[in-house]
């Protein structure tokens, strides 16, 4: 007995145009609007030539997408959730509001304790006699930056003096950066200092306080918008141009990985823009800190194993670097200074 033949199911065929449209939509959603997610994913790839290529490509792709303002939808959603903390009580559970306020108070207390341990007068003193008189024959290095440089800077100063036989002057200020020139204008002050005193190199570290709205030519620009990104890149370029016009060598130390995920993404963006501007200024070199004070994937780490000891490299606030973390960053900088400035006479160990 023969079984009746079952009719074959109708399998609709997709045209080339439909497939192309689907691929394009996926690219727009994942490739453009999710550019920073792809860049972050690439940082977790294991070491290797292919991984390095993927990281370079995704970070460049992220920078281009950011310059075009394609991150704005995601940033808008992120802002909406953050603004929910200030919404009426019916919009979220009371326990969430209490917990958020408690966390904010703890963070403020931690930051206040960290700032209290910093020498607030640093960077406001007159030019040291060693620089004004030119008594040092080694390299003369100007070290500038925000509060992160208050712990990294002293280590750099000591290493320049001991290992290079030169002199370094630290000029760092709490709460400053490129977002608020009305509080402190770093490009203007840099020109003033290097005009009065000769330096061989400038080392800078900025970005901690820059992820905020700011005014540009009288207009308030919202953080992350296309006009904001253009204006911030313009300010980065102005600082690096002032450096290259004044000294032969400049070094930009990138922001380290941050504990808070939202803040970490903001610092990743600033690092990407800074690295791009460094590439456009021949006198500048970029120093990434993601693997210097971060874990093996470039993520945040409180402690790192240095030789045989486990050392604390980040402060309690999850933002600033300890003196030991500053030592790790300074070691890479000193190696670059040795090769760049061609230091002949070495002093100390």
**109 and 201 assigned to the same domain:** no
**20 and 157 assigned to the same domain:** no
In-domain check, residue 5 = no
State yes or no: pLDDT of 304 exceeds 60.
Answer: yes
Residue 312: CATH number of its domain = 3.40.50.1110
Q: What is the mean pLDDT of the chain?
A: 79
Stretch 228-235: mean pLDDT, rounded? 94
**96 and 131 assigned to the same domain:** no
**324 and 207 assigned to the same domain:** yes
Report yes or no: 240 and 278 within 8 Å, Cβ to Cβ: yes
**110 and 132 assigned to the same domain:** no
In-domain check, residue 119 = no
Structure tokens at 220: 């308030």
| Phi, psi of 147, rounded to the nearest 5 degrees | -65, -25
For 294, other C-beta atoms within 10 Å of its C-beta total: 21
In this prediction the pTM is 0.67
Range of the domain at 34: 16-70
State yes or no: pLDDT of 83 exceeds 50.
Answer: no
In-domain check, residue 321 = yes
Q: How confident is the model at residue 33 (pLDDT cuts 50, 70, 90)?
A: low
CA distance 85 to 316: 24
**131 and 62 assigned to the same domain:** no
pLDDT digits (tens, 9 = 90+) for 282-300: 999 999 999 899 987 788 9
Structural domain ending residue among the three candidates 114, 138, 170: 114
In-domain check, residue 178 = yes
| Phi, psi of 170, rounded to the nearest 5 degrees | -95, 130
In-domain check, residue 218 = yes
**252 and 300 assigned to the same domain:** yes
In-domain check, residue 243 = yes
Please count the structural domains in the chain: 3
**222 and 186 assigned to the same domain:** yes
**110 and 201 assigned to the same domain:** no
Strands (E), 11-134: none
pLDDT digits (tens, 9 = 90+) for 155-173: 999 999 999 999 999 999 9
In-domain check, residue 330 = yes
For 179, other C-beta atoms within 10 Å of its C-beta total: 22
Number of alpha helices (DSSP H) and beta strands (DSSP E) in the chain: 11, 9
**In which residue are the tokens 């966390």 written?**
103
**96 and 151 assigned to the same domain:** no
Lowest mean pLDDT among 34-38, 290-294, 329-333: 34-38
Q: How confident is the model at residue 181 (pLDDT cuts 50, 70, 90)?
A: very high
**pLDDT value at residue 116:** 55
**292 and 158 assigned to the same domain:** yes
In-domain check, residue 11 = no
**182 and 311 assigned to the same domain:** yes
State yes or no: pLDDT of 313 exceeds 70.
Answer: yes
């Amino acid at each position: 007995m023969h079984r009746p033949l079952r009719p074959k199911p109708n399998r609709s065929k997709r045209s080339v145009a439909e497939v192309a449209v689907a691929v394009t939509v996926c690219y727009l959603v994942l490739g453009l609007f999710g550019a920073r997610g792809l860049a972050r994913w690439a940082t977790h790839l294991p070491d290797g030539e292919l991984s390095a290529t993927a990281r370079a490509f995704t970070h460049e792709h992220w920078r281009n997408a950011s310059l075009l303002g394609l991150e704005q939808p995601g940033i808008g959603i992120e802002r909406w959730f953050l603004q929910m903390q200030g919404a009426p009580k019916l919009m979220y559970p009371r326990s969430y509001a209490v917990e958020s306020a408690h966390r904010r108070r703890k963070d403020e207390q931690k930051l206040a304790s960290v700032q209290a341990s910093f020498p607030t007068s640093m960077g406001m003193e007159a030019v040291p006699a060693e620089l004004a008189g030119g008594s040092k024959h080694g390299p003369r290095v100007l070290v500038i930056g925000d509060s992160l440089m208050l712990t990294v800077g002293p280590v750099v100063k000591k290493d320049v003096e001991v290992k290079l036989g030169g002199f370094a002057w630290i000029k760092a200020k709490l709460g400053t950066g490129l977002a608020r020139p009305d509080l402190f204008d770093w490009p203007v002050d840099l020109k003033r200092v290097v005009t009065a005193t000769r330096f061989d190199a400038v080392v800078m570290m900025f970005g901690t306080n820059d992820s905020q709205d700011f005014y540009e030519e009288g207009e308030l620009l919202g953080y992350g918008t296309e006009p904001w990104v253009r204006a911030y890149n313009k300010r980065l370029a102005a600082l690096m141009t002032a450096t290259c016009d004044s000294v032969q060598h400049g070094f930009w130390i990138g922001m380290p990985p941050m504990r808070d995920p939202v803040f970490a993404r903001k610092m990743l963006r600033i690092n990407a823009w800074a690295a791009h501007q460094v590439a456009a200024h021949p006198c500048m070199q970029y120093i990434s800190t993601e693997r210097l004070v971060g874990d093996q994937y470039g993520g945040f780490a409180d402690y790192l194993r240095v030789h045989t000891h486990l050392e604390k490299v980040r402060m309690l606030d999850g933002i600033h670097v300890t003196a030991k973390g500053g030592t790790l960053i300074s070691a890479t900088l000193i190696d670059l200074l040795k090769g760049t400035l061609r230091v002949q006479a070495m002093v100390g160990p």
